[in-house]
Amino acid sequence: MIHTVDNFELFAKKLFEKPLNEDEFYFLQILVRGKDGHHVSGNNKNRLVKYYTITSPEQLFSLKNEILAICHVDNARAYIHPTKRNAKEVANLAIENAVHTFVSQNWIGFKSMYSTACGQSFVKGDKKFIVDLDDIHEGDPILDEIRNKIYSYRGHGGENSDKVFMTVPTKSGVHLVTWPFDIGQFTKDFPGIDIHKNNPTLLYFRWADDFDEFI
């Protein structure tokens, strides 16, 4: 059986509720992952296929067919960072990284200079966490319990009192994209659940229970 997670509509609606400033964008990556059967070296077992800087929902949808085609050919996943990036800050970090890369004579490293800076740098005032919930889906009672607990924790709550910004379906469960909150209290209440402070979340992935089904 072939399965698909397609979150284009979700992100187009939520990420662009307010227009971006002219120097802001969202960072979108297409990655092949070791967990999907690829031979990938490196610490994070991911390999970047292509990246995009997204500034509007119209641009996101205009690229959808291209992104899906690459994902299907490479058995890759499309991810998007839900925290905004600032072009000037990313450029400054890319230049800083370039100096370190030059000093260390890591010539191959120059290929990924800008995309690496996009992954590292983010707009501090838009910082969001990702609560990684495997085997938990919309409608499960535990999901509402986790959401309600997060609402009760200390934290600025973004531009409103709702600390949960959006719920993103993934291959194995959901990601809760939240405004910052008291992680220490969360860990006491829900030990073993991972929280990521500057990670992407799933935009698109198609997979099969048996790879031969794609052929």
Q: What is the pTM of this model?
A: 0.89
pLDDT-derived band at 213 (thresholds 50, 70, 90) equals very low
213 lies in a domain?
Answer: no
- CA-wise closest residue to 214 among 65, 35, 71: 71
Structure tokens at 102: 């030059």
For 76-121, the pLDDT digits (tens) are: 999 999 999 999 999 999 999 878 776 777 666 667 788 999 999 9
212 lies in a domain?
Answer: no
What is the average per-residue pLDDT within 30-45?
Answer: 74
> Do 100 and 115 reside in the same domain of the chain?
yes
Average pLDDT, the chain: 89
Q: Give me the pLDDT at residue 134, please.
A: 95
DSSP element (H, E) containing 53: strand 46-54
58 lies in a domain?
Answer: yes
**Residue 194 belongs to domain spanning:** 126-199
> Do 184 and 102 reside in the same domain of the chain?
no
61 lies in a domain?
Answer: yes
Q: Can you point out the beta strands (E) in 58-169?
A: 77-80, 85-86, 129-134, 164-169
DSSP state for residue 19 in the 8-state scheme: P
> Do 10 and 98 reside in the same domain of the chain?
yes
